[in-house]
Amino acid sequence: MLYNDNLPVRYPKGAFAMWTVYSFTGASILASIIFSLLLFLSIDEDPVMQILFGGLAVIFELGKFFAWYEFGERRARRNYMGAFSAFGFYAVLAAISIGGSVGGINSATNQAQSHVNVQQSKISSYNMQIDAIEKQIELNNVAAEKYIQMERIATGVARLQRENDQLRQQQQELAKERDSLPVVNQGSVIGLIDSLAKSLQVQTQTAQLGLVIFLSVLLDFFAAFFVGLIGEELRFRNQFRRMNPITIDAFSNNHEPKEPELITDQTQSVQPSTEQPNTQTRTDIESSDNATAEPQQPKSLYEQAIEALSTNQVNCTKRAVTRHLKTSSDEVDKIFKQFMEEGIVSKKPNNHYQWHGVAES
């Protein structure tokens, strides 16, 4: 339970949560780099050019995510012009990265599709040969009917029957070779593309392009989200350390509860004090008279503000000081103006105040 009005609404994330965030961030950034490398490395076959293009892809990817991290930092500091420039830089690099991811994923899916296409072409070739033999057999049967009508069964029909038998045997051999071809397992991605093409009633190439663009954008946004989450958590941790909240747990650890005292214990502690010499009693009476005669003067708003800021009871802001002193904003403006004249408070470029402390006399 917290007793400070300016405390954060949550505690910093634990070690397991941060380990999970860093793992997801590293995996997504690595996947984005790999897909970009697939495209950039295919530009040129020269090893030197491949090294140059590969390094360019890595630089683009790392620079893109650092630009997004810098965008969050500048927006947190309310530097909107700097945040806009960082976002523009990120948008350019993100467009290049998404294009690289699209090319890389598309290349991988095309390579998987090519194996299926090669196998399908072999099967289609066997089917064409079998269909050609079937047509030749049909033509021979038509010629045999003509020979029968011409009453030349002995000479023409017998020859055509022997030829059909050879064609049938050849057709069966081709069918056995076609059926003995190894079955190519269709990958899950290829199956998903075919399903999308059938459900959306579009061509396979169109469904493949749409799926690749969706996965590339999703991967980029996924990595950007976790990079922004890391930046926000680091800023929150720094703010949490500066505020240093007081909790019941911390108070109970430092101050253990005392056992209740009885009235008899108090009377026993009073009796020895009554046996002190009269000189000690007179001294106590005189000191009490002086304390009653000279009451302590109440502190001014200026002194109360210095005490509160020196002991870190409030942040160095006009709103926090106004809430602590329970006074008007005009009085707080005068106090801060006097602070700046004395040099114990300075104003930052972002219009925030910084407490330097009172010089010890």
User: Dihedrals φ, ψ of 226, to 5°?
Assistant: -70, -30
Q: What is the pTM of this model?
A: 0.46
pLDDT digits (tens, 9 = 90+) for 250-293: 444 444 444 555 555 545 544 544 444 454 545 554 555 554 44
pLDDT digits (tens, 9 = 90+) for 18-76: 898 889 888 888 888 887 787 777 777 788 888 888 888 888 888 888 888 889 888 88
Residue 328 counted as domain residue: yes
Please tell me whether residues 158 and 22 are part of one structural domain.
yes
Residue 212 counted as domain residue: yes
Residue 50 counted as domain residue: yes
Please tell me whether residues 233 and 310 are part of one structural domain.
no
262: CB partners within 8 A, 6+ apart? none
Contact 187, 112 (CB under 8 A): yes
Please tell me whether residues 68 and 156 are part of one structural domain.
yes
Query: Which of 196, 224, 242 delimits the end of a domain?
Result: 242
What pLDDT band is residue 171 in, cutting at 50, 70 and 90? confident
Please tell me whether residues 50 and 191 are part of one structural domain.
yes
The count of structural domains within the chain is: 2
Query: Which of 219, 242, 265 delimits the end of a domain?
Result: 242
Please tell me whether residues 123 and 26 are part of one structural domain.
yes
Please tell me whether residues 236 and 360 are part of one structural domain.
no
DSSP state of 283: H
Residue 172 counted as domain residue: yes
Residue 185 counted as domain residue: yes
Query: Which of 242, 262, 281 delimits the end of a domain?
Result: 242
**What is d(CA 137, CA 165) in angstroms, rounded to the nearest whole number?**
9
Domain that holds residue 121: 15-242
Please tell me whether residues 93 and 224 are part of one structural domain.
yes
> 92-101, 108-117, 247-256, 290-299: lowest mean pLDDT where?
247-256
Query: CA 82 → CA 1, 233, 349, 352, 358, distances in Å?
Result: 39, 21, 14, 18, 35
Q: Which residues does residue 354 pair with via DSSP β-bridges, in sequence order?
A: 346
